[in-house]
A and B are shown apart, each in its own frame.
Chain A
């Protein structure tokens, strides 16, 4: 069911979560949300990763005992790693289930259940994983290669096609076979060389075959295990889930990385970002994401350490380039696209709308990526004169009403974004004013998030849309920019089609060597800085608050919900 070789399967996961965040935020006109994977974002606070520079490690000796309460905005949906399609669920699953590999905070892969990174065959098609010695589930049952094979079968094997796994699309496309060579060796045979394979697909929590193996595929979808997993393999095991309120976990003494210091870990559902700030202050929660608008309120609290770091998230707007649409006629000429970008004072947007928590973007790769190029070929600073001369040069002359026109066609269009996101609403107002200054008539229009998504991925009658996007750890950006993804359902709603871009993206995907890939993505960023089909306005920042009593966390841009190799090493100074 996969349409596209390049895209990350995790689209499912983000999407539902955005809706939840968006829903609450829309209600109180505040923001709150989190994205762990590649997707469009509804809200202003898209990151639940914590302290980037700020790992809370001290020289103190860790103590056993106590608990940590982490706040988030969304309730979980399932605790089955192969059925999960939202970040809240993935976060809690990550506390209870390890996969073969995990991420470091900079996005590099580290072994988890596997004893080392896998051996890749010379043709780049086969990955051989060795499992650690004496792996056990929380019930003492050994964890073997059979469990790994079973977990992946659920999502790729036609035998299990009735299992409603959101991963089936990608896994059934890329995986030829997963086999257990011996109890400690797993071999994954892929169908094609695909550079992001490990980063995207080697982190799924491994499920216990001895619990789920006897169920028929349909029964897996509704198994009790999905809401109350009796057996886990991660730092914690399941205690209870009080819906709409919290999930409680307890230490798993059989964890491969040594038993956790904490007795229990609680995932608590909160109403919104104001509640997070309040409860960080009162100590009702120990860890929580902080909205840029709330930063000053939390900064003064002596019991909370805040830190800020870049996240793989950006806010961008896109022109509709479909020649059959109005946008195609207005924006088909890249001079117009460039001129509009020159006319925006993006530093002012970062300062005034995001309170300085973010940075002006020069590239389509986020700065958290190893493939990021900070100075691509064309750089855009605020330059109104240049914007006007570009438009003049392209034949768009000002009419009597002050609006530019060319061949009877006025430079007049509509910009859409999701209602309820104050930052984006403000950005549209700024864009309207900035563009009016150069004789362009742009009207903001606010629509609901599901409708915005429908516009981007299928309806596509918009002229310009504004939205946020979150990337994974791999620098592949083809979902937004490859012509293949301009098909209905794809993320390339701008209908950007450029042969050179396609070639560079495809080459980069089929190259395993990192330095060669980096070079290809560098060329791609140069090209995009010239083309600007969908200019990135800013790179967002993540801010996280952690109570001073909590030690041993080491958050970073890529240590998000499910990717926390240090789960077992968190401890609390007061032992409570």
Chain B
């Protein structure tokens, strides 16, 4: 059953990947106008030079031809070279990916570890001051723009602390420029961006855990457990939380693509050398090959993340069966 399901999902995934990459290219192509990456401002170009460069980049052909050529090369393992700097797209991705995974992985982990206890506390003390405070904080987590929070943290934990002669945190980059790179150094750089990024997840998931927990706690089997005289602690953690967490897995699974793309704003604010920033910058420069390479890669991860969440869901929740 599962095998059949996986095969079907695989084909659906192929369509998703094709669709996403095609739409990405279409959007870039439709907004590009007559612009050709890297040449328009050379005062010495004659029209035929521009044509030649356009042809070199493959921009003289309709976008679907460009797309098919690109697809053909990708299927043969060739992601091509950046239209801006000429270096291989794969090297761009591989250089940036570890940094992004470090940042978003930490943020998601922090989010999960902190949001679950907060959600449980909120559910158990429903209507209390603690619950209200947590509600306010999580609403703020949705509402506060990440770039604003990031700038504020920089101002406070880098600039202000430094001016008062206190220990302070570095405000940009993933490592110190000189002699950096050890675990402690990376952690120092990671604290602020990971905090900002996890704040969003935290808000989302703690709210979700809270309501899911409330729902479970009102179930008959919880009443039964209590009636049996089972300790409250066992009721909450063994019977309540385990069941309440199942839907959360889907939610976290849906955020897995964020491992690649979710950190864009944070990466920009903190000068984090990640893949989201690469994608953003190159999209604005119409660097088709880099954008397409990153998009392709990110889409694969999205599809894989969703699939993983679904499969996990089935394993954890015996009520779910694939047909």
B44–A282 touching, CB < 8 Å = no
A525 within 8 A of B: no
What's the nearest-Cβ distance from chain A to residue B279, in Å? 11
CB-CB nearest in chain B for A39: B41
Residue in contact with B154 in the complex, picked from A15, A19, A278, A489, CB distance below 8 Å? A278
From 272 to 291 in chain A, residues with beta carbon under 8 angstroms from any chain B beta carbon are 274-275, 278-279, 281-284
By a CB distance below 8 angstroms, the chain A residues around B52 are 1
By a CB distance below 8 angstroms, the chain B residues around A453 are 35, 40-41
B84–A275 touching, CB < 8 Å = no
B200 within 8 A of A: no
By a CB distance below 8 angstroms, the chain A residues around B92 are 243
Bound CA span A490–B37, Å: 16
From 235 to 281 in chain A, residues with beta carbon under 8 angstroms from any chain B beta carbon are 242-246, 248, 264, 266, 268-271, 274-275, 278-279, 281
B175–A245 touching, CB < 8 Å = yes
Given A19-B284, A282-B158, A451-B33, verify A1-B168 contact (CB < 8 Å): no
A7–B96 touching, CB < 8 Å = no
Bound CA span A284–B172, Å: 9
From 1 to 50 in chain A, residues with beta carbon under 8 angstroms from any chain B beta carbon are 1-4, 7-9, 11-12, 14-16, 18-20, 22-24, 26-28, 38-40
Question: What's the dominant secondary structure at chain A's contact region?
Answer: mixed
Bound CA span A271–B175, Å: 15
CB-CB nearest in chain A for B37: A16
Bound CA span A67–B174, Å: 19
Binds A, one of B15-23, B201-209, B251-259, B263-271: B263-271
Question: Taking each of B49, B173, B274, B285, which has the highest tally of chain A beta carbons within 10 Å of its own beta carbon?
Answer: B173
Bound CA span A20–B280, Å: 10
A409 within 8 A of B: no
What's the nearest-Cβ distance from chain B to residue A2, in Å? 4
CB-CB nearest in chain B for A6: B43
Residue in contact with B86 in the complex, picked from A2, A222, A281, CB distance below 8 Å? A222
A271–B270 touching, CB < 8 Å = yes
B273–A244 touching, CB < 8 Å = yes
By a CB distance below 8 angstroms, the chain A residues around B268 are 24, 27-28, 271
CB-CB nearest in chain B for A239: B178
From 471 to 515 in chain A, residues with beta carbon under 8 angstroms from any chain B beta carbon are 479, 485, 487-491
Residue in contact with A244 in the complex, picked from B42, B46, B278, CB distance below 8 Å? B278
By a CB distance below 8 angstroms, the chain A residues around B212 are none
Given A22-B284, A169-B44, A246-B177, verify A15-B38 contact (CB < 8 Å): yes
B271–A243 touching, CB < 8 Å = no
By a CB distance below 8 angstroms, the chain B residues around A244 are 95-96, 99, 273-274, 277-278
Indicate the size class of the contact surface on chain B.
35 or more
What's the nearest-Cβ distance from chain B to residue A293, in Å? 14
B191 within 8 A of A: no
A227 within 8 A of B: yes
Given A11-B41, A274-B151, verify A281-B285 contact (CB < 8 Å): no
B273–A282 touching, CB < 8 Å = no
Question: Taking each of B44, B96, B269, B284, which has the highest tally of chain A beta carbons within 10 Å of its own beta carbon?
Answer: B44
Bound CA span A39–B40, Å: 11
What's the nearest-Cβ distance from chain A to residue B212, in Å? 36
By a CB distance below 8 angstroms, the chain B residues around A242 are 95, 175, 273
A69 within 8 A of B: yes
By a CB distance below 8 angstroms, the chain A residues around B177 are 69, 246, 248, 266, 268
B122 within 8 A of A: no
A40–B41 touching, CB < 8 Å = yes
B305 within 8 A of A: no
Given A24-B281, A489-B50, verify A270-B85 contact (CB < 8 Å): no
Residue in contact with A459 in the complex, picked from B34, B39, B273, CB distance below 8 Å? B34
B159 within 8 A of A: yes
A457 within 8 A of B: yes
B178–A12 touching, CB < 8 Å = no
By a CB distance below 8 angstroms, the chain B residues around A164 are 86
Bound CA span A149–B168, Å: 52
A85 within 8 A of B: yes
Indicate the size class of the contact surface on chain A.
35 or more
By a CB distance below 8 angstroms, the chain A residues around B170 are 284
By a CB distance below 8 angstroms, the chain B residues around A448 are 31, 284
A450–B85 touching, CB < 8 Å = no
B163 within 8 A of A: yes
Bound CA span A1–B171, Å: 45
CB-CB nearest in chain B for A453: B40
B47 within 8 A of A: yes
A78 within 8 A of B: yes
Bound CA span A319–B172, Å: 43
A278–B155 touching, CB < 8 Å = yes
What's the nearest-Cβ distance from chain A to residue B98, in Å? 11
From 110 to 124 in chain A, residues with beta carbon under 8 angstroms from any chain B beta carbon are none
Bound CA span A77–B162, Å: 33
B286–A279 touching, CB < 8 Å = no
By a CB distance below 8 angstroms, the chain B residues around A376 are none
B147 within 8 A of A: yes
Bound CA span A27–B85, Å: 22
B87 within 8 A of A: yes
Given A222-B86, A269-B273, A271-B268, verify A169-B33 contact (CB < 8 Å): no
Bound CA span A458–B51, Å: 13
B155–A1 touching, CB < 8 Å = no
Q: Identify 26 residue pairs between A and B in the complex whose beta-carbon atoms are under 8 Å apart, listed by A's number.
A: A3-B43, A3-B44, A3-B46, A19-B285, A20-B281, A22-B284, A24-B268, A67-B178, A85-B38, A169-B42, A170-B44, A222-B86, A242-B95, A242-B273, A245-B271, A269-B273, A275-B154, A282-B162, A450-B32, A450-B33, A451-B35, A458-B34, A458-B40, A485-B43, A487-B46, A489-B43
Closest CB pairs A-B (n = 9): A244-B273, A15-B41, A7-B43, A11-B42, A77-B85, A23-B284, A3-B46, A169-B44, A245-B273
Interface residues in chain A, defined as those with a beta carbon under 8 Å from any beta carbon in chain B: 1-4, 7-9, 11-12, 14-16, 18-20, 22-24, 26-28, 38-40, 67, 69, 77-78, 83, 85, 164, 166, 169-170, 173, 221-222, 227, 242-246, 248, 264, 266, 268-271, 274-275, 278-279, 281-284, 448, 450-451, 453-454, 457-459, 479, 485, 487-491
Extra contacts besides A9-B43, A28-B269, A244-B273 (11): CB < 8 Å: A1-B49, A3-B44, A24-B281, A83-B86, A85-B38, A164-B86, A222-B81, A279-B158, A279-B171, A284-B158, A450-B285
